Homo-oligomer: A and B are copies of this chain.
């Protein structure tokens, strides 16, 4: 459904920021630094700084959310939602889209050079959590002079970051859009991630993570991605897309080459991922998802949301079985129990989990009207704004 030819933003650039010398104390207690953050911005920050939107990507996404990069054909991963006149309207809002800590698209991750050894961190990279990713984003926003965010939005893993923002920095978040996401990974979600990790680690070319400078665990990473792709599509969507069509009837029944179109699709997805993603990043990011539990450190999920006065928009898709609607429904209930303002929508779709990237027509009016409400009653810019700066510490 995405019209890839219609990006209204034209050429964009990815920027890079070195966070200050002060190391980040991670959730695990480890002090870590230095950290570089890759990010893009679209639109203009208003004088009163009341129009900033933070976009959080999913597992394999990056800072390049919209527009086109020089020399690249493909627009950013959420170009259908971000741009002039779109859901996140860049004529009105200032959109910031950073790459998360631990990823491999410009922000510090396991493939980055460890200044202490001059070699990539590999498994010497510390274990990170969704809270750590939010903390890095918080420092970026401080640097950009943005104290209070009009909206923090994302799908899948990005939705977890958005929810985590509201819980970690209630005074800095006016509204939240969390799509196809959850407050906590279930055992089945952990199990799928564990199989993906095992597929990578079973590949001898993984070499305990020290594969940089070699081809790396190409086969294992491809299998890991194939597992992921099954969970991104719905059964009915797959049936519509592939049915039981044989790819090449002549070959039916004689070897283990491709028979069904769905096999060809999966292998293609696996192989194309290998060229664009770092296997160790997949290990670290999936672990961060598995650890994710919004209620952790609170008595309950309801209590976690208590301090927030944000407007929440929660969107689930009927055929998403990776993050079934039930999970965001539970989030909506917890927010309401805490006295908060939650709008929950279940969009009927057979795109499965992938719907958050595709079904922009149904999501656009929901997001646009939330942003109207949020901006109409943005509230005061917290006096803490004067403290803004790279060294500012969070509450």
Contacts of A219 in B (CB 8 A): 202-203
Contacts of A242 in B (CB 8 A): 187
Contact with B along A240-255 (1 / 0, CB 8 A): 0111100000001111
Which B-chain residue is minimally distant from A284 (CB atoms)? B256
Contacts of A270 in B (CB 8 A): 198
Among B223, B238, B252, B267, contact of A186 (Cβ-Cβ < 8 Å): B238
Contacts of A308 in B (CB 8 A): none
Docked pose: A255 CA to B220 CA in angstroms: 19
Interface size on A, residues (CB 8 A): 57
Docked pose: A185 CA to B242 CA in angstroms: 12
Is A273 on the interface with B (CB-CB < 8 A)?
A: no
Contacts of A199 in B (CB 8 A): 199, 202, 223
Q: How far is the CB of A231 from chain B (nearest CB, A)?
A: 10
| 6 more A-B residue pairs beyond the given contacts A190-B262, A195-B223, with a C-beta to C-beta distance below 8 A | A184-B244, A186-B235, A187-B260, A190-B263, A199-B202, A256-B283
| CB contact under 8 A between A262 and B194, given known A127-B254, A187-B242 | yes
Which B-chain residue is minimally distant from A193 (CB atoms)? B263
Docked pose: A304 CA to B38 CA in angstroms: 60
Within 8 A of B (CB), among A171-214: 184-188, 190-192, 194-195, 197-199, 201-204
Q: How far is the CB of A267 from chain B (nearest CB, A)?
A: 7
| Shortest Cβ-Cβ A-B pairs, 5 listed | A202-B219, A187-B238, A28-B253, A187-B262, A188-B235
Among B129, B191, B203, B233, contact of A202 (Cβ-Cβ < 8 Å): B203
Among B129, B220, B230, contact of A188 (Cβ-Cβ < 8 Å): B230
Is A123 on the interface with B (CB-CB < 8 A)?
A: yes
7 of the cross-chain contacts (CB-CB < 8 Å) are A123-B255, A187-B235, A187-B262, A188-B238, A190-B260, A194-B262, A198-B266
Q: How far is the CB of A222 from chain B (nearest CB, A)?
A: 7
Docked pose: A35 CA to B359 CA in angstroms: 54
Docked pose: A324 CA to B127 CA in angstroms: 38
Contacts of A194 in B (CB 8 A): 226, 260, 262-263, 266-267
Is A259 on the interface with B (CB-CB < 8 A)?
A: yes
Residues of chain A whose beta carbon lies under 8 Å from any beta carbon of chain B: 27-28, 123, 127, 129, 184-188, 190-192, 194-195, 197-199, 201-204, 219-220, 222-223, 226-227, 229-230, 233, 235, 238-239, 241-244, 252-256, 259-260, 262-263, 266-267, 270, 283, 287, 290-291, 293, 321, 324
| CB contact under 8 A between A230 and B263, given known A239-B186, A254-B127, A255-B127 | no
The answer to whether A187 and B244 have CB atoms under 8 Å apart is yes
Best-buried of A243, A259, A293 by chain B (most CB within 10 Å): A259
The answer to whether B256 and A123 have CB atoms under 8 Å apart is yes
Docked pose: A45 CA to B27 CA in angstroms: 68
Q: How far is the CB of A111 from chain B (nearest CB, A)?
A: 16
Best-buried of A185, A230, A241, A243 by chain B (most CB within 10 Å): A230
Contacts of A243 in B (CB 8 A): 187
Docked pose: A99 CA to B1 CA in angstroms: 48
Contacts of A291 in B (CB 8 A): 252-253, 259
Q: How far is the CB of A361 from chain B (nearest CB, A)?
A: 25
